[in-house]
Amino acid sequence: MRGLKLPLSQTQRVRLQRAFEKLQSLSAKANSDASVTVADTIPVNYEDAFLKGYGTTDLNGELVATVCGVVERVNKLVYVRALRARYKPEVGDVVVGRVVEVAQKRWRLEINFSQDAVLMLSSMNMPDGIQRRRTALDELNMRSIFEENDIVCAEVRNFQHDGSLQLQARSQKYGKLEKGQLLIIDPYLVRKSKQHFHHLEQFGIDLILGRNGYIWIGEHVEARDSVVIDQAKSIEQSTVVEGINRAYTPLEMRQNICRIANAIRVLTILGFNIDLNLIMETVELSSSLKIDIHDMLGSEFHVLVAEMEAERRSLTTKRKR
């Protein structure tokens, strides 16, 4: 159970164990020989020429895994994909990051990677929407776009020569994120899917699953014509911000945000992959059982979610057959 830090009673422990065993038995048939731990031999046909990839090493003539993970084979390449690893970026990934520095013509973002990512000023749409060369004045006004500690959503553009990432935020859906909360989870739990931006209409909430493990849950913001509000409007808004009149998020929306956040927390503790369907099912389970938002973090709900997921997966495998 990977050392779950939950105070479980005896019956809860038994139920959780059973649910995990059920899940293991469902997935084991697919790739039972594919998962390896350190020092396991990897089953390879030694007569064929093959390339040793990451996570493998040659020990006494045998191919042995050096990390715990899943064996992947691509043509002649054999490598072990580690499970608990730092975020491995790919071009086109949606990531959520926090600005740590405003530097010359760029922002540096922290994205749970070994290095900070760079968002160039030229990779951002300008407030007036015109495609033009960035002038010195634009550079001086960078802070009006993003400041330190702002949360920004962007896309991976390419890798720089030193291995760090370059991001771009040219589309309307990227940009600064406000009015919500950021959750940090392990990056391996967020799989690449077609959609990382989810607009939950029934709640009026935006859910962004960043592939680097940063998840943003916040009030829905309409895609703006320009990513940045233009100068006049921003001055007007900043004075309103200073005043106490700025409205807080309405209570009902806040409850939904908290419920979704707790659902994600429960799923990460149990180690399930985070995707929209699972989150919504967990949220529905909690509201149908009338579980209080804070009680979702209690041990009983964790056991219920594990059982629900085991049920769901056994039903889908039965349907497939």
What is the binding site for other proteins (CB under 8 A)?
Answer: 5-7, 98, 147-151, 176-182, 218, 241, 246, 248-249, 251, 254-255, 258-259, 261-262, 265, 292-294, 296-298
Q: How far apart are CA 206 and CA 121, in angstroms?
A: 25
How many CA atoms lie less than 13 Å away from 304 in the CB half-sphere? 18
| Nearest residue (CB) to other proteins, 290 versus 294 | 294
Shortest Cβ 180–other proteins spacing (Å): 6
Q: What are phi and psi of 192, to 5 degrees?
A: -70, 130
| Nearest residue (CB) to other proteins, 65 versus 257 | 257
Q: What are phi and psi of 182, to 5 degrees?
A: -105, 135
Q: Are 38 and 49 in contact (CB under 8 A)?
A: no
DSSP for 257-306, written as a single string: HHHHHHHHHHHHHHT----HHHHHHHHHHHHHTT--TGGGGSHHHHHHHH
Helix H or strand E encompassing 159: strand 151-159
Shortest Cβ 138–other proteins spacing (Å): 22
| Nearest residue (CB) to other proteins, 71 versus 283 | 283
Shortest Cβ 251–other proteins spacing (Å): 5
Shortest Cβ 223–other proteins spacing (Å): 17
DSSP for 2-29, written as a single string: --------HHHHHHHHHHHHHHHHHHHH
Shortest Cβ 82–other proteins spacing (Å): 23
